[in-house]
Amino acid sequence: MSSSPLTAITLNQLRAFLTAARLGTFSAAATELRTTQPSVSELIKRMEDHYRIPLFTRGSRRLVLTSGGQELLPYAERAVEAAEGADRALRSLTSLDGGVATFGLLRNAEYYFLSELLETFHARHPQVRLRIIGLNSVEVAEAVSSGDLEAGLVVLPIDAEGLDITPLMRDEVVYASANPDRTVRPVTMADLAAASLILYDAHYGWRDPTRRQLAERAQVEGVTLNAVIEVEHVEAALHIVARGAGDTIVSRAVSRSRTFPENLHTVGFAEPLYDTIAVVRRRGSILSPATREITRLARRMLLTH
């Protein structure tokens, strides 16, 4: 049975053909390819024999492409270029000399000094391109689970099916108000149910991990939590709270930041509430060296913080 077109030509044959066409002799091609002149001749002869068409006119001084060789030339160039590109791409996945690190960051990452993470990584590995997505933890977890992201940082709890989760640190969640009378004692769920709440992460609502914890506690205690205003970003919520329109909840990292409004007061919950920050990856997946390194740096920065 004759060979199929897919197996009739090898990359070695195409490289030999292109090098001979460029340099003009089989011996010069052999020198560049670090092989022998008979080996280069044989590689090209196999193609000619298979298709029963000459690719070169063997002159006394220099090889000249035949019409068949001219027809093959652009396809050979594209095939070898594609193969070499694939080789570079795969090699970049086993080193920190190239490739792309895909990583998800929780929405309020800057409050945990994680912007420094990107600067540090880029300074150490400038050849690696960074694809960093800062979303709510819900979407980061979904993106990792689907394979759109290699790994990411999230706030727990999340839907953990198909994910490996490594908790890194806890940060207390506190109640924030412009009215000091509302922060004289730890807040109960009944207090929270009676408050005019200004909440952020409007898009994800009660799927947001922090809100999810509160909703579960409220359900156990038989109370209902409602927001009078919902916005997307914590900064907008704090601005509204600072003007006295209601109260909110934030992590300690946010309350200790330089941008936290000076007129706001905070207090913890009667039953302390925590955001647990964790790194997630798809179960059974192998991280690229770049993503593995940015994960390591993120973990170190969080633990130091």
pLDDT digits (tens, 9 = 90+) for 113-126: 777 888 888 888 88
DSSP type of residue 273:
E
pLDDT tens column, 254-272? 999 999 999 999 999 999 9
pLDDT tens column, 40-65? 999 999 999 999 999 999 877 889 99
pLDDT score of 174 more than 90: yes
**Range 271-300 average pLDDT:** 88
- Of the three residues 74, 92, 110, the one that is the final residue of a domain is 92
Any idea what the CATH number is for the domain that residue 244 is in? 3.40.190.10
Across 64-78, 80-94, 212-226, least confident range: 80-94
The count of structural domains within the chain is: 3
- 186: nearest Cα among 130, 291, 268: 268
In a domain, 48, yes or no: yes
Any idea what the CATH number is for the domain that residue 9 is in? 1.10.10.10
In a domain, 55, yes or no: yes
- Band (pLDDT 50/70/90 cuts) for residue 111 is confident
- DSSP bridge pairs for 282: 163
Across 153-162, 224-233, 253-262, least confident range: 153-162
What pLDDT score was predicted for residue 92?
A: 56
pLDDT score of 290 more than 60: yes
**Range 240-266 average pLDDT:** 96
**Are residues 67 and 113 part of one domain?**
no
Q: Are 229 and 246 in contact (CB under 8 A)?
A: yes
In a domain, 11, yes or no: yes
Rounded-to-10 torsion of CA 185, 191, 195, 198: 70
In a domain, 131, yes or no: yes
Entry pTM: 0.67
- 144: nearest Cα among 105, 117, 113: 105
In a domain, 158, yes or no: no
**Range 60-80 average pLDDT:** 91
**Are residues 269 and 179 part of one domain?**
yes
What is the residue range of 14's domain? 5-92
pLDDT score of 6 more than 50: no
What pLDDT score was predicted for residue 88?
A: 61
Length of the chain: 305
**Are residues 237 and 262 part of one domain?**
yes
**Parallel, antiparallel or unpaired: strands 197-199 and 227-230:** parallel
In a domain, 148, yes or no: yes
**Are residues 69 and 126 part of one domain?**
no
CA distance 146 to 140: 10
